[in-house]
Amino acid sequence: MARRRIGLRRPRGRGEYLAAAVVGVAAATLLGQMALAALDELARAWPVWSAAAAAGACYGIAVTLHRLRARRSRWRALAALRLTLAHLDALTDQAFETALRDLLIRDGWSARHVGRQGDQAADVIGHHPQRGRIVLQAKHTRTGGKVGSSVMYQVKGTAGPVHRADTAVVVTNGSFTRDAKAWGERHGVHWIDRDRLRTWAEQGLPVHQLLRLPARPGRAAPVRRAAVRARTLSG
């Protein structure tokens, strides 16, 4: 048996048109009443919504101010950072890398710790508005060991091609072999041994002065931004 399809049809005759008009007016009236009731409810709840919005805005401002104060406090703390060799000797390998990052930040570099397995001879990468991009390879030792030439080869092979560095540096709390120092000086890989690390970390000489890194041309705008930041920190 075929199922009958139920559908709408146009009214027929004056009576059906009149009935349809009455239903339409009733539906429109009901919808209007519902809309008025909703608006009335919103009007009554407006103070609550306003208070909630104001509370949310105040909370957002408070969180932002807290973060700004924390960031400024960290910058001030890093600006006065001094790390003794005894402290650096006691660190783990990863903590030593983080300490080198903080020393770069103290000296005005924007720096991040990237050291991990497969880091391609880069533990810390930094950028300076005047002196470009720097890559640090950290060699932490607790036994006063020496860093050999093979480390210099690795850093030279990845600093420019992989990390686009202007300056490559190997840093250790130990020492370097004579061949490693000579090879690094010939091929543009800087080295910081225990004595230089004391001058940098403990006595506070900036790394670009320690290594005599030249200022690079065409960086006037970043220099101005750095000056503004320095005034903010001093304030």
- Count the neighbouring beta carbons within 10 Å of the beta carbon of residue 230: 13
Q: Please identify which residue in the block is written with the tokens 């103070």.
A: 47
Residue 67: burial class (beta carbons within 10 Å; 0-12, 13-18, 19+): exposed
Same domain, 166 and 185: yes
Instruction: Based on the fold, state whether residues 162 and 225 are members of the same structural domain.
Output: yes
Question: Alpha-carbon Rg of the chain, whole angstroms?
Answer: 35
End position of a domain, from candidates 64, 80, 96: 80
Give the span between the Cα atoms of 153 and 235, in whole angstroms. 44
In a domain, 197, yes or no: yes
Which residue type occupies 160? G
Q: For residue 123, give the nearest of 90, 88, 99 by alpha carbon.
A: 99
pTM of the entire predicted model: 0.62
Looking at 61, 80, 99, which one is the last position of a domain? Answer: 80
Q: Which domain holds residue 218?
A: 84-234
Do 43 and 98 have their domain in common? Answer: no
Q: Are 124 and 97 in contact (CB under 8 A)?
A: yes
Is residue 4 included in any domain, yes or no? no
- pLDDT, residue 234, reads 43
Is residue 182, in this structure, part of any structural domain at all?
yes
56/165 same-domain check: no
Nearest to 96 by CA among 12, 14, 170, 206: 170
Q: Which is more confident, 7 or 58?
A: 58
Using alpha carbons, list the distances in angstroms from residue 163 to 84, 124, 156, 159, 178.
30, 11, 11, 5, 27
The phi, psi pair for 108, rounded to 5°, reads: 100, 10
Residues 165-186, mean pLDDT to the nearest whole number:
97
Domain with 117 in it: what CATH number? 3.40.1350.10
* Domains of the chain: total: 2
CB 183 within 8 A of CB 152: yes
Summarised one tens digit per residue, pLDDT across range 57-77 is 777 776 666 565 655 555 565
Say if CB 171 and CB 138 are below 8 A apart: yes
Last residue of a domain, one of 80, 98, 125: 80
Residues 69 and 92 in one domain: no
pLDDT score recorded for residue 45: 76
Domain identity same for 223 and 159 = yes
How high is the pLDDT of residue 169? 98
In a domain, 8, yes or no: no
Q: Which residue has the higher pLDDT, 46 or 93?
A: 93
Mean pLDDT across 46-61: 71
**pLDDT tens column, 77-136:** 566 799 999 999 999 999 999 999 999 999 999 999 997 766 688 999 999 999 999 999
Over residues 158-176, the mean pLDDT reads: 95
Q: How many Å apart are CA 143 and CA 140, to the nearest integer?
A: 9
Tokens read off for 200: 């940098």
What strands lie across the sheet with 189-192, from one edge to the other?
A: 110-113, 124-128, 132-139, 167-172, 189-192
Phi-psi category of residue 20: left, alpha or beta, with phi > 0 → left and psi -120 to 50 → alpha = alpha
Contact between residue 113 and residue 101 where contact means Cβ atoms under 8 Å apart: yes
